[in-house]
Amino acid sequence: MDLGKLFFCGFDDFNEEAREVIQKYRPAGVLIYPGVLSKEYLFLDFMNFLSRNGRFIVSSDHEGGQLEVLKYVPSFPGNLAAGKVDPVFTGRYCEMAGRIMNTLGFNMVFAPVLDLLSEKGSAVVDLRSFGSDPEVVASHGMEACMGYFKGGVIPCIKHFPGHGKTADDSHYLLPTVNASFEELWREDLLPFRRIFQSRVKTAVMTAHVKYPAVDDLPATLSKKLITEVLREKLNFKGLVLSDAMEMKAISENFSVEEAVRFFIEAGGNMILLDNFRDLPVYYESLKKLIEDGSIEREKVERSIKIVDEYLSALENRFNSGLIAEVAERAIECTRMRKELLGREVVLLVPSNKNLSPADTTGDDYDLIPEVAKRFFKVRDVIRYDIEAGPDDVDGELIFDFVVNASKNEQVLQAHLSLPSDRTIYFIIRNPFDAKFFPGRSVVITHSTKPISVYKSFQHLLGRCSS
């Protein structure tokens, strides 16, 4: 059995460890966090990697308003504000956001939030709710789901059966909602019911919240809530995800084995992990529980089938990955001395200066040190004036980022005066500069962009595939 399909993993970084985890355990779900999204070169490389490694459900937490992580999607006043106007505006925003996400390579979004706003509720809900009126939340939730679906991403509605009636935050402890099932059915569950009745394609995320009137276990681990209420009473046949299992509501009250066993036995399908580094432990626990009979194989097989249905229905575009592909394929290297690459590095970085009114590349240079530190131990960063060239510098290994040196003899000589046996020249702007460095180690990126610098470092270290 392909057990990796039962996991949805969060990635706050994209590095060799992340590559190895994906290739070894093959999680079907990839949740991309701000740690990757805030560094565009990492995001582009991640999408390029995914495009080469199969089919994935790729999601973000971008809801608009209180929780926004995708800089490419315009900021939105949020659900609480949207709940005060016609639901059509919610649908239009979600369609726009969905189209942008789809273009970038996402095919799911962990939204909309269907939790009701309560006067005594927690800040974990607040602005994420469309309001206190179940009918209003249902109307906006419906428009949001249809908008996302039109935009090309599957909505994942949350947090079933409702997180709004508690003042506690499940990130920190296990909340309790002391409401009767009749009250839950009439209020908190109404938005879920309406969306299921519409048959728009969604996934569902469970709440790490206890509802004693129904079960002593939190919803995420409750067979009564997932199978008897969600599957049977509400007739939902689709994909059920847990909220992140590392949240303290679960992790401080249940062992890994208990959380895995209860969730799968309850009828859940995909275990969401906040941190991809936790996948090996959860994966091995699931494997052990199946082998010793603590989890029914039939339930695992049924969950894998549901995940496969979603994987088949979802489009993997990975359009943004082509940007990393272009950067990677454009790199040229000459006379590279690999033995130098294990040494401390001195970076010679151009000053932040645009060279023409039709030039916005100056800011690109500011990111070179950040990118370099992902791959090398950087001893020093020296900024030099593009019009004067670098001063004399000493170091075990020097990375000299060259900008239009051949246009200025003084600048060219300054670059050439660096120790040739310990300097690697990165020609990041004018490829004709390269001919003035004969017999030296040269990398031609044909671009100033951080993704191109990033790929040039990967190329030096033998980590590029093209």
Condensed to tens digits (0 to 9), the pLDDT of residues 17-63 reads 999 999 999 999 999 999 999 999 999 999 999 999 999 999 999 99
Question: Do the beta carbons of residue 275 and residue 247 sit within 8 Å?
Answer: no
Q: How confident is the model at residue 465 (pLDDT cuts 50, 70, 90)?
A: low
242 three-class SS: coil
Give the model's pLDDT for residue 430. 93
CA–CA separation, 188 vs 133, rounded Å?
9
Is residue 156 scored above 90 in pLDDT?
yes
Is residue 355 scored above 90 in pLDDT?
no
Q: How confident is the model at residue 1 (pLDDT cuts 50, 70, 90)?
A: confident
Give the model's pLDDT for residue 198. 93
Q: What is the CA radius of gyration of the chain?
A: 26
Is residue 337 scored above 80 in pLDDT?
no
Q: How confident is the model at residue 316 (pLDDT cuts 50, 70, 90)?
A: confident
**Percent of the chain residues past pLDDT 90, beyond the cut:** 87
Average pLDDT over residues 124-133: 94
Q: What is the largest CA-CA distance in the chain?
A: 82
- Closest Cα to residue 385, out of 371, 403, 358? 403
Q: How confident is the model at residue 275 (pLDDT cuts 50, 70, 90)?
A: very high
Give the model's pLDDT for residue 376. 95
Across 21-30, 123-132, 143-152, least confident range: 123-132
**341-350 burial code (b ≥16 CB/10 A, e <16):** beeebbbbbb
Q: How confident is the model at residue 318 (pLDDT cuts 50, 70, 90)?
A: confident
Q: How confident is the model at residue 306 (pLDDT cuts 50, 70, 90)?
A: very high
Question: Do the beta carbons of residue 412 and residue 308 sit within 8 Å?
Answer: no
How far apart, in Å, are the Cα atoms of 28 and each of 152, 238, 271?
18, 15, 10
- At 52, the amino acid letter reads R
Is residue 338 scored above 80 in pLDDT?
no
The tokens describing 195, both together, are: 């969306």
CA–CA separation, 24 vs 28, rounded Å?
12
- Closest Cα to residue 30, out of 390, 437, 311? 311
Does 243 participate in catalysis according to the annotation? yes
Q: How confident is the model at residue 149 (pLDDT cuts 50, 70, 90)?
A: very high
Q: Which of 171, 308, 366, 446 is catalytic?
A: 171
Does 392 participate in catalysis according to the annotation? no
Give the model's pLDDT for residue 114. 97
Give the model's pLDDT for residue 264. 98
Q: How confident is the model at residue 73 (pLDDT cuts 50, 70, 90)?
A: very high
Is residue 208 scored above 70 in pLDDT?
yes
The CA-CA-CA angle for residues 428, 72, 77, to 5°, reads: 150
Is residue 466 scored above 70 in pLDDT?
no
Neighbours of 232 (CB within 10 A): 11
- At 101, the amino acid letter reads M
Give the model's pLDDT for residue 319. 80
Give the model's pLDDT for residue 153. 97
CA–CA separation, 94 vs 88, rounded Å?
10
CA–CA separation, 260 vs 245, rounded Å?
9
Question: Do the beta carbons of residue 331 and residue 444 sit within 8 Å?
Answer: yes
Q: Which of 61, 188, 215, 243 is catalytic?
A: 243
Please give the residue that has the higher pLDDT: either 317 or 331.
331
Give the model's pLDDT for residue 77. 96
**Percent of the chain residues past pLDDT 70, beyond the cut:** 100
Question: Do the beta carbons of residue 167 and residue 149 sit within 8 Å?
Answer: no
Give the model's pLDDT for residue 356. 85
